[in-house]
A and B are shown apart, each in its own frame.
Chain A
């Protein structure tokens, strides 16, 4: 089973939920794989402190032009819808930061002058945090395209079917988020009881509804104002699966980087209960 953890914006506690869920499942002897798919800012590792054993480069194709063959006809530039190529008399220029690596220019060049080179844009790293299997993707600083790294991470999930897979997705609603969340069996939407939290949750709800993924809500920093979220959930018929109340105990643990379920076993029970509800949510929906 694949559970994605996402939120409409950053800083709502998405990683806290992913990490504590992983710890709680491992504590109950479940096989669990945590995938940090927030490739622009992977930070689940800061809490789990995994031992990374493998590092796999992720590359995308980028064209290289053979100046001996090119006659500067301009077909390649004409074709490239991302404007990553320009051709002048005597010069063919490539702008790698705009290239999506579609390979089209290689195909359209009448002189076979375009060759495919590769450019490394990030890495996929794999390791363990105690009994939790841990993977993360990292996009190199300044690289514009996160999706190929996310895709690489996800392409290997099929080999880990015996695990419960938790995907810590990037925040917001964008191509990399959709890539991370796609094909999940369940989506946990993490939010806070504020007007902003509600607004971002509405957007995230639209996305998972559109993708057809069964889903439920986790309210982080829960308290007196929960109504603002619970009302929306009622209206939209979405279950609130867990409330993590705002307490100075949890906050101070959070600030030291210690996942609270490690020191407070009652939270492992709560997360495990949520997991059971998620499992049911999946089978009802399918």
Chain B
């Protein structure tokens, strides 16, 4: 399965970018083979509506799951309309966050306000 992670750099050792709309890259990772591809986030240079633009681009990538910090309400609406599951990353490197995901340790964000706080996230 393809999963997207918002990242500051182009490889698995990059840190997770907690911003969704304005992150530098989406790293699209195949969870079976570990193959990955970095896609520029067009939202990072948008004047307004960055979250919407980023979400639209993310839908185009075809990935059905996303690991990020906390998307804003507009981005959340678009991602939800596209059926993307959103997981909250505690920070750290992309590779570390992927391990947490595989172990089922990431919390899914189901409302634009984000998951309840204080759940072991740093």
Contact = CB atoms under 8 A, between A and B. Distances in A.
Q: Do chains A and B stick together as partners?
A: yes
Interface of A: 74, 77, 82-84, 86-91, 93, 95, 98
Contacts, number: 41
A88 B82 contact: yes
Interface of B: 46-50, 52-53, 55-56, 59, 74, 77-78, 81-83
B52 A88 contact: no
A1 B50 CA distance: 43
Nearest to A77: B56
Nearest to B54: A83
Contacts of A89: 82-83
Contacts of A90: 81
A275 B86 CA distance: 64
B18 to A, nearest CB: 21
Given A77-B56, A86-B55, A90-B81, 20 more contacts: A74-B56, A82-B48, A82-B49, A83-B50, A83-B52, A83-B56, A84-B52, A86-B52, A86-B77, A86-B81, A88-B59, A88-B78, A88-B81, A88-B82, A89-B82, A89-B83, A91-B81, A95-B49, A98-B48, A98-B49
Contacts of B81: 86, 88, 90-91, 93
B83 A84 contact: no
A95 to B, nearest CB: 6
A95 B82 CA distance: 16
B85 to A, nearest CB: 14
B56 A87 contact: yes
16 contacts: A77-B56, A82-B49, A83-B49, A83-B53, A83-B56, A86-B52, A86-B55, A88-B82, A88-B83, A89-B82, A89-B83, A91-B81, A91-B82, A95-B74, A98-B49, A98-B52
